[in-house]
Chains A and B, each alone.
Chain A
Amino acid sequence: MSDPKEAIKERSMVIQKDMLANLFTELSNAKKNGKKVVYTFVPGNLTELILAMDMLPVYPEINALQSGMRKKSGGYIKDAEKLGFSEDVCTYVKCDIGMMLNGNIGPTGEKLPEPDLLLLSYTGCFTFLKWFENLERLYPGVEIAMLHTPYQEDGVITEDQVKYMVKQMQEDVIPKMEKVAGKKLDYSRLEKMLGNAAKAEDLWVKVLETAKNRPSPIDSYFAGVYYMGPLNTAFRGTEEAVLYYEELLKEVTERMNLGLSPVTPEGEMKEEKFRLVVEGPPNWTNFREFWKIFYDMGAVIVASTYTKVGGLYDQGFRHEPGKPLESLAKYCMGCYTNLNLPQRVDLIEHYIKEYKADGFLINSIKSCNSFSAGQLLMMREVEQRCGIPVGFIESDLVDPRYFSYANIKNRLESYFQMLGQRKVILAQEEVSA
């Protein structure tokens, strides 16, 4: 493959890049500046709590996906496998462990600090538990806090579950965080941050909903994974994040008013031919090639479940300054992979109808049980309920060995041609009706 050309970036992307660069610089100076560092995961993260106690968060999944995009994950995974991790272990975990074995150099080339606290605030993914058990071995003596997140078995969040989580926070998680931070939690500061979070969440939902337009001004999956970054990670609760989403919304609204299609790495998409809803994370090792298959065929992702791993704001959830711990508890339990299968099917059905999608596609990830278990069943159910063509492809998060370009392209081309045919037939049936 020849060197990819410099990707075309939107203004908001440049802002985000600066935000991230500053964060990684701050992280690399954390020890020097006496800042405490918390490793935590994206789903159900308690970023506002971490920031309110002046600590700095590190998200191993984000590092892993960045390593994947920077073509480093293959080597890292191999190193983790040399250590004894099986081929079947989640590749985010192996990539992260491999990165640590190689000096823990982050995406900006700066060294990441060692953790002072491992904060496991979401247990919906069993692998997360094992991941931190392994990190504990790499950083002996590190403080650990775990917040048990009940699964939405019955499709609802009950008051008891909220109480259970709040109790854990009050009695275990917050005291441990305070111990590491060396200071008490300032509730007024937390509430202010939750207020900022809610503002950014409002703006984010407006951005997502622009995809209901024809043509959609955004790609909710391939560009969505960039857009969701600040809100899902270290910036939720900050004023910076609010400013970022204001800028993003402005930019997207401008595009929408001009009737423009999404910006791709090769410039603006010319024609929106297919509108899709996608389930499952993207592949990161070949992200641009993967995206290109879609935009070359005029396919836009109008809604995706992956962009909801950090919270289902478009379904009404907001962080609430008035009920800080309760809303954090609900946030943890409400992230996408904590939903039961019927809830996930309902959500997808809702997206297909609400965003007027022509098709539904699943990218099933070898590494990720949280996402992949039950996907075939979901696919069948969605097909029956919505009567639209469904597609199924398989790849992996960050293991380059599991991305077969020729096979994926072959399947996607077939899928798009199938959608194309269907459109012709539907149009003819409409005419003859």
Chain B
Amino acid sequence: MNKYYLGIDLGSTTSKAVIINEQDEIIGRGITNTRANYSVAADIARMEAVYNARFSILKRNLAKEIEAKPQYRKYVADLESVFQYEQFKVRIDKLGDELLKTCYNHFEGERRLIMIDHLRLIRKAIKPKIKYQYIYENLGDKNQFFRDIVSEKYNEEVGKFDISLFEPLMTIWDKSITAAENEVVNFEFESLITQAMDLLKEKYENLPDQSENIPIEADKSFDAEMYLLKGDFKNVSESLRERIDEVANLEFNIENMTGTGYGRALLPFPQECIRSEILCHAFGAHAVFPETRTVLDIGGQDTKAIQVDKYGLVTSFQMNDRCAAGCGRYLGYIADEMSISLNELGPLAMQAEKEVTICSTCTVFAGAELRELTNMGEKRADILGGLHKAIIMRAMSLIARSGGVFNEFTFTGGVARNQAVIKYLAQLVKENYGDNIKINIHTDSIFMGALGGAMFARRNIKADLPNAKKVMA
């Protein structure tokens, strides 16, 4: 039987889970927002990683078919997205119940009835929208959390009502979302996948004929694979049925696991399965880039500068102390101040023509400074450029404390997804440590801690030196 190993990284902002096989290859990833309840966050991340692993195994089993026929690739990708929608549906129904419950507890008489009416309107409006996005626009691929997806739509709908309803409806939301989010729903993979397959069938049956989409060249959203699959749907879905069942029934044997991250002490794991995130991040980063000697990890509330040896073991590290300005949460706060989403920050900062000098010693002050600079007529992009540079300048001082940058240099953590951060990092590393430093950033950078944890779990933590085998992403 195949053996699998699990690493869970319970960060201050997000919780990540990674499952690897006996070859240290990542076969499952799961991520969710960290809630007040750490163990729920860990459970959800783990569950997601297991589902993701089943899909990875399916794709591996079907490697030949997928390579030969694009319609197979399309079917599996669609199935994964629709499968995520099926999970989402269960959760949004839970949220619906919670919203009604809160409404009953907080309002009486006619006001209660008004609120219920409006909640119904919201529900009616947002469910099909989200369903459409999952089925046709690959929402599942975008790594967004349940809370973020729903709150965006909820806010949109509330904005359409009379302003007097804003506060009560937002109060209902605030009091309901945490309860809905913190409920662990035990999904049945098998039944969920069957529902997903049915839904997919429905999608392709209802898909308008290709001929209706004329002219094809003018339609940018035209998806050739989708139409290829439509033509061959019955055949593809029937021939895959058995292979999918096989994966659904696969017994998933987690041989060992490691918990890491800020909330690690709260994980229901035995003491010997808990590791410091510093060691895990370094180990994960080194596994993916075996020449790594310096690791910078910028997470939600920690920035870590870590030096590692040829085995990926930590030789020294420095962490921000007393203050988390310059970490992921700092960016989150700035995004809120600017009323844009976290994902928009980097692209906007990339448009900067200059970097406005901004103090990075305090998140709250940076917010005030931002308003002041905006009033003085500085461009948003330039201010954001300055903010992103400030983050890296702070990180550089931490790196200097830990001993400097040695070749190769690997950047990990959630913030490593931000293009502007990467730009300034490259610039400042070059300025301070010359041209010869190779900077590594992996698309899975946010999962490095969980990966390192899983790798420790596979090695049963003690002995067994890590070999410099490349991890397949």
Q: Do A and B bind each other?
A: yes
| B322 in complex: contacting residue of A394, A421, A422, A424, CB < 8 Å | A394
B262 at interface, CB cutoff 8 A: yes
How far, in Å, is A362 (CB) from chain B's closest CB?
A: 11
Report A-chain residues with C-beta under 8 Å of the C-beta of B276: 410, 413-414, 417-418
With contacts A380-B403, A413-B276, A414-B276 taken as known, whether A407 is within 8 angstroms of B321 at the C-beta atoms is yes
With contacts A383-B316, A418-B313, A418-B314 taken as known, whether A394 is within 8 angstroms of B321 at the C-beta atoms is yes
With contacts A421-B313, A424-B462 taken as known, whether A414 is within 8 angstroms of B321 at the C-beta atoms is no
A376 at interface, CB cutoff 8 A: yes
A392 at interface, CB cutoff 8 A: yes
A397 at interface, CB cutoff 8 A: no
A402 at interface, CB cutoff 8 A: yes
* Contact status A417-B465, CB under 8 Å: no
Give 1 or 0 for each of A411-433: 1 = CB within 8 Å of chain B CB: 10111011001101100100000
* Contact status B465-A402, CB under 8 Å: no
Q: In whole angstroms, how far apart are the Cα atoms of A428 and B463 in the complex?
A: 8
Q: In whole angstroms, how far apart are the Cα atoms of A60 and B277 in the complex?
A: 41
* Contact status A417-B279, CB under 8 Å: yes
A102 at interface, CB cutoff 8 A: no
Nearest B residue to A411 via CB reads B319
With contacts A394-B322, A404-B322, A422-B313 taken as known, whether A414 is within 8 angstroms of B278 at the C-beta atoms is yes
* Contact status B314-A421, CB under 8 Å: yes
Q: In whole angstroms, how far apart are the Cα atoms of A383 and B316 in the complex?
A: 9
A74 at interface, CB cutoff 8 A: no
Interface residues on B, range: 20 to 34
Interface of A, secondary structure class, is helix
How many residue pairs at the A-B interface have CB separations less than 8 Å?
Answer: 53
Nearest B residue to A383 via CB reads B316
With contacts A380-B403, A392-B401, A418-B314 taken as known, whether A425 is within 8 angstroms of B465 at the C-beta atoms is yes
In chain A, positions 27-84 with a C-beta closer than 8 Å to chain B are none
A162 at interface, CB cutoff 8 A: no
Report A-chain residues with C-beta under 8 Å of the C-beta of B277: 414
B318 at interface, CB cutoff 8 A: yes
* Contact status A425-B321, CB under 8 Å: no
Q: In whole angstroms, how far apart are the Cα atoms of A417 and B277 in the complex?
A: 10
A389 at interface, CB cutoff 8 A: yes
B315 at interface, CB cutoff 8 A: yes
Nearest B residue to A416 via CB reads B276
* Contact status A383-B403, CB under 8 Å: yes
Q: In whole angstroms, how far apart are the Cα atoms of A383 and B401 in the complex?
A: 12
List the 6 closest pairs (A to B, CB-CB), nearest first: A414-B276, A414-B278, A418-B314, A394-B321, A417-B276, A421-B313
6 contacts between A and B (CB under 8 A): A376-B401, A383-B316, A414-B278, A418-B313, A425-B311, A428-B465
Q: Name B residues whose Cβ lies closer than 8 Å to a Cβ of A.
A: 262, 275-279, 311, 313-319, 321-322, 401, 403, 462-463, 465
Q: Name A residues whose Cβ lies closer than 8 Å to a Cβ of B.
A: 376, 380, 383, 389-394, 402, 404, 407, 410-411, 413-415, 417-418, 421-422, 424-425, 428
List 19 additional A-B contacts (Cβ < 8 Å) besides A407-B322, A418-B317, A421-B313.
A383-B316, A383-B403, A389-B316, A390-B316, A391-B316, A392-B318, A393-B321, A394-B321, A394-B322, A404-B321, A407-B321, A410-B276, A417-B276, A417-B279, A418-B279, A418-B315, A421-B314, A425-B311, A428-B463
